[in-house]
C-alpha cells in the first residue's frame, strides 16, 4: 500500500491545545495546509486579528502565528469545508469533567468529542485519518470508530489515532518545538500502522525520529492520564511534606533540594505551593479514578483520589493559615491577592488555587483586591461567579476589586497573599508596599517567591508555605 501523503490538516477546536499545536505544525511544515476551525466566531476573529490579539496568551505563540498565518495556516468557522478537504483531522475539543449524570464529578464529558466525530462522519466523502488530540478516557477511540463507521457514506474509510499532548502552559511553544516525545497510538493493523506512519512523517519534519513513539491505541490514551497523574502525585507529595515542615520547623526548600539530588527521583515538580491547578491534572486524575472504579479496582481508585484530596487540603490549609494569623478573623479586613492564573506565563485560570482562596476569604466576608498581569477582568468575574453559585455577582463585586498593578492592589491592606508565581512579583518594591499598608502588615507567600528575612527587616509579618515559625 502506498504511503499516505498528508497535504491538508484540519483541527477542530481552536483552544489551548489545538491552536498552538497546529500553528507549530504549520510553521514547521510549509508544504502542508493547516486549517483550525471553531464554531466560536469571536475566538476565530481573535486568531485572525490584525494586531494579533490572540485568544490565548502563551509566550512565543504570536511569533509562530505571524510567520504562518495566511501562508499555510488559516482560522475559520467553516467546519464542513475544512473537514471535506482534509487528509488528517485533529479532534481537539474540550472534555470537561461531567457536572451531572453518571460519573458526575469524575468522568469526562465527551459530548463535544461525539459531536465533532458525528460531524466528520456526516461531511466526509473520502478517506480520513482522525486523531484524538483531546484528553480522553481509555478506549474513547473505540466509541469514535463505532460512530464513524456507522455513519460513513460515499465509501469513506476512517483510521483512528491517539496523539495526546504533553504541553505545559507557559512553555507550550517550547514544548512543541522541542518535545520530550511525541506519542502516537494506533490499531496494530495494516491500515492503522499506515495511518500512524503518516502522522509520524508530519512530526518528523522537525522532531527527531527517536522521540516519536508509536504504541497501541489504548496504551497511548492511558499514557496521557498516567503522565499527568504521576506529575500531580509529586506535587501533592511535596505539599504533604510542606505541612510536616510547618509543624516541625523544617524548611521545605531544603527538604525538596535534598530529595531531588537522588538520581532516582530528580528535582522536577518538587516545589511546594498552595496547590496545582490547570485544565489537566485534576480532570485527568478524576478520569483515572472513574476508570478504576468502573473496572472494579476500588483500591486503585482510592489511591489516585488521594492526590486530588491532598491538593484541596493544601489550598484550604493555606487559607486557614491566613485567617488564623490575622487574629482568627478576616471579617471586614482587606486582603490583596497577587495572581489569579493557575500558574505564571498563562492567562488560564482553570482550577486556579487563587479561586479557592478568594472563595474562602469571601465566605469570611473579607474584602479582596486582585491583581494579575494577564487574566482578563471578565474571566475573573466569571470564575468567581461559578465558585460562589449562591452569591449574586453584584454582591461579589461589593467585596472584590480588580486593579492593574501591585502597588495599587496592596495599598491600605492588612495582608498580601501571593497566589501565582509571576516573575514580576520577584521585583516588588516591598518598602513602598509596606509604607502604604495597614499595620501590622502581613505577607503570605504561597509560591516560595519572597526573601522572607528581607521583608521581616522592613517590618512585615511573614508566613511562607512549608516553613515553620521555628525557622524564623
pLDDT in tens, 153-166: 878 899 999 999 99
- At 35 the three-state DSSP class reads strand
Strand 415-418 versus strand 400-402 pairing type: unpaired
In the predicted model, is pLDDT for residue 1 greater than 60?
no
> What is the average per-residue pLDDT within 30-48?
97
> What is the average per-residue pLDDT within 290-310?
96
Q: What values do phi and psi take at 272, rounded to 5?
A: -65, 150
280 classed as catalytic: yes
Least confident of 8-17, 137-146, 403-412: 137-146
In which order are the strands placed within the sheet that holds 367-371? 400-402, 367-371, 334-338, 415-418, 442-445, 461-464
Tell me which of 29, 280, 388, 410 is the catalytic residue. 280
> What is the average per-residue pLDDT within 392-420?
98
d(CA 243, CA 188): 47
d(CA 218, CA 145): 13
d(CA 449, CA 442): 15
pLDDT at 153: 83
In the chain, the percentage of residues whose pLDDT exceeds 70 is: 99
Q: Which residues pair with 337 in a beta bridge?
A: 370, 417
Cα dihedral 216/219/225/229 (nearest 10)? -140
Q: Please indicate whether residue 108 or residue 120 has the higher confidence score (pLDDT).
A: 120
pLDDT at 2: 56
In the chain, the percentage of residues whose pLDDT exceeds 90 is: 89
Q: Which residues pair with 154 in a beta bridge?
A: none
> What is the average per-residue pLDDT within 411-435?
98
> What is the average per-residue pLDDT within 330-348?
97
Domains 8-207 and 249-471 share a fold: yes
In the predicted model, is pLDDT for residue 167 greater than 60?
yes
8-207: CATH number: 3.40.50.720
Architecture per CATH, domain 249-471, reads as 3-Layer(aba) Sandwich (3.40)
Report the chain's mean pLDDT, rounded to a whole number: 95
d(CA 298, CA 266): 30
Q: What values do phi and psi take at 182, rounded to 5?
A: -115, 125
In the predicted model, is pLDDT for residue 232 greater than 50?
yes
Contact in structure between 108 and 95 (CB atoms under 8 Å): yes
Q: What DSSP character marks residue 436?
A: T
Strands (E), 152-261: 158-162, 182-186, 212-216
pLDDT tens across 427-467, in order?
999 999 999 999 999 999 999 999 999 999 999 999 999 99
Q: Hunting for cell 538520581 — which residue is that?
A: 263
> What is the average per-residue pLDDT within 355-368?
98
In the predicted model, is pLDDT for residue 421 greater than 80?
yes
Angle at 279 between CA 273 and CA 283, to 5 degrees: 95
Domain positions in the chain: 8-207, 249-471
Q: What is the pTM of this model?
A: 0.91
Amino acid at each position: 500500500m502506498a504511503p499516505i501523503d498528508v497535504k491538508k490538516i484540519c483541527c477542530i477546536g481552536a483552544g489551548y491545545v489545538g491552536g498552538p499545536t497546529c500553528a507549530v505544525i504549520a510553521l514547521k511544515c510549509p508544504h502542508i495546509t493547516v486549517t483550525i476551525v471553531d464554531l466560536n466566531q469571536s475566538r476565530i476573529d481573535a486568531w485572525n486579528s490584525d494586531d494579533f490579539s490572540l485568544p490565548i496568551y502563551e509566550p512565543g505563540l504570536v511569533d509562530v502565528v505571524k510567520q504562518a498565518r495566511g501562508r499555510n495556516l488559516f482560522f475559520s468557522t467553516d467546519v464542513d469545508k475544512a473537514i471535506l478537504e482534509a487528509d488528517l483531522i485533529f479532534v481537539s475539543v474540550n472534555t470537561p469533567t461531567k457536572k451531572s449524570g453518571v460519573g458526575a464529578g469524575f468522568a469526562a464529558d465527551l459530548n463535544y468529542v461525539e459531536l465533532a466525530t458525528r460531524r466528520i462522519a456526516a461531511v466526509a466523502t473520502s478517506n480520513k485519518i482522525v486523531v484524538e488530540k483531546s484528553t480522553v478516557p481509555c478506549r474513547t477511540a473505540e466509541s469514535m470508530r463505532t460512530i464513524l463507521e456507522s455513519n460513513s457514506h460515499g465509501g469513506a474509510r476512517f483510521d483512528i489515532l491517539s496523539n495526546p499532548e504533553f504541553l505545559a502552559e507557559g512553555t507550550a511553544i517550547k514544548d512543541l518545538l522541542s518535545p520530550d516525545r511525541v506519542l502516537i497510538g494506533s490499531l496494530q493493523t495494516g491500515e492503522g500502522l499506515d495511518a500512524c506512519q503518516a502522522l509520524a512523517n508530519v512530526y518528523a519534519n522537525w522532531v527527531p525520529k527517536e522521540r516519536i513513539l508509536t504504541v497501541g491505541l489504548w496504551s497511548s490514551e492511558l499514557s496521557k492520564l498516567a503522565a499527568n497523574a504521576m506529575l500531580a502525585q509529586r506535587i501533592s507529595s511535596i505539599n504533604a511534606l510542606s505541612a510536616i515542615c510547618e509543624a516541625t520547623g523544617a524548611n521545605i526548600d531544603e527538604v525538596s533540594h535534598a530529595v531531588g539530588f537522588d538520581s532516582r527521583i530528580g528535582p522536577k515538580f518538587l516545589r511546594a505551593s498552595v496547590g496545582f491547578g490547570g485544565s489537566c491534572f485534576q480532570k485527568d486524575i478524576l478520569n483515572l479514578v472513574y476508570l478504576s472504579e468502573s473496572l472494579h479496582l476500588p483500591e486503585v481508585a482510592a489511591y489516585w483520589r488521594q492526590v486530588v484530596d491532598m491538593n484541596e487540603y493544601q489550598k484550604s490549609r493555606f487559607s486557614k493559615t491566613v485567617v488564623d494569623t490575622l487574629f482568627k478573623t478576616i471579617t471586614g479586613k482587606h486582603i490583596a491577592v497577587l495572581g489569579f492564573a493557575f500558574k505564571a506565563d498563562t492567562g488560564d485560570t482553570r482550577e486556579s488555587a487563587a479561586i479557592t482562596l478568594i472563595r474562602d476569604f469571601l465566605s469570611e466576608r473579607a474584602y479582596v483586591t486582585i491583581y494579575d498581569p494577564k487574566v482578563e477582568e471578565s474571566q475573573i468575574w466569571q470564575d468567581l461567579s461559578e465558585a460562589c453559585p449562591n452569591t449574586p455577582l453584584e454582591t461579589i463585586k461589593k467585596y472584590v476589586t480588580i486593579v492593574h498593578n501591585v502597588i495599587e492592589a496592596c495599598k491600605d491592606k492588612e495582608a498580601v497573599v501571593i497566589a501565582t508565581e509571576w516573575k514580576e512579583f520577584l521585583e516588588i518594591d516591598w518598602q513602598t508596599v509596606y509604607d502604604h499598608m495597614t499595620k501590622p502588615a502581613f505577607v503570605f507567600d504561597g509560591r516560595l517567591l519572597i526573601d522572607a528575612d528581607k521583608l521581616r527587616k522592613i517590618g512585615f509579618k511573614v508566613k511562607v508555605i512549608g516553613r515553620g515559625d521555628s525557622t524564623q
